[in-house]
Amino acid sequence: MRVLITLALLLCSAVAGRAQSATEVEAVVTTDLGTFRFEFAPDKAPKHVEQFIARARQGYYNGSAFHRAVANGIIQGGDPLLKNPATPKAQWGSGGLNLLAPEFSDMKHERGVISSVGIPGRANSEGAQFFACVAPQPQLDGKFSAFGRVTEGIEVVEKISQTPVDAAGLIEKPVRILKITIEKKREQPFLNATVDELRKTVTLKTTLGIIKIKMEPAWAPNHARAFLMLIQTGWYNGTVFHRIAKDFVVQGGMPTGRSTGSNHFADRFVHPLQAEFRKDVKHEKGVVSMAHGEDPNSATTSFFLMLGPSTSLDGQFSAFGRIVEGLDVLDAFAKEEVDGETPKRRLEIVEAAID
Q: Do residues 50 and 18 lie in contact, with contact meaning Cβ atoms separated by under 8 Å?
A: yes
Residue 29: strand pairing partners: 36, 180
Q: Do residues 89 and 79 lie in contact, with contact meaning Cβ atoms separated by under 8 Å?
A: no
CA distance 267 to 248: 29
Is 80 exceeded by the pLDDT of residue 198?
yes
Of 262, 184, 289, 187, residue with least CA distance to 232: 187
| CATH T-level topology, domain 22-184 | Cyclophilin (2.40.100)
CATH 2.40.100.10 segments of the chain: 22-184, 196-354
**What is the percent of the chain with per-residue pLDDT over 90, rounded to a whole number?**
88
Q: State residue 170 phi and psi, 5-degree precision.
A: -85, 135
Q: Do residues 77 and 67 lie in contact, with contact meaning Cβ atoms separated by under 8 Å?
A: yes
**What is the percent of the chain with per-residue pLDDT over 70, rounded to a whole number?**
94
What per-residue confidence (pLDDT) applies to 28?
Answer: 98
First to last CA, the chain: 62
pLDDT confidence band for 3 (50 / 70 / 90): very low
Question: Which letter does DSSP use for residue 246 in this model?
Answer: T
Class of domain 196-354: mainly beta
CA distance 254 to 235: 10
CA distance 8 to 284: 68
Report the SS3 class of residue 57. helix
pLDDT confidence band for 120 (50 / 70 / 90): confident
Question: Which letter does DSSP use for residue 202 in this model?
Answer: E
What per-residue confidence (pLDDT) applies to 4?
Answer: 41
What per-residue confidence (pLDDT) applies to 8?
Answer: 45
CA distance 352 to 228: 10
Of 131, 158, 150, 160, residue with least CA distance to 72: 158
What per-residue confidence (pLDDT) applies to 11?
Answer: 43
Is 70 exceeded by the pLDDT of residue 14?
no
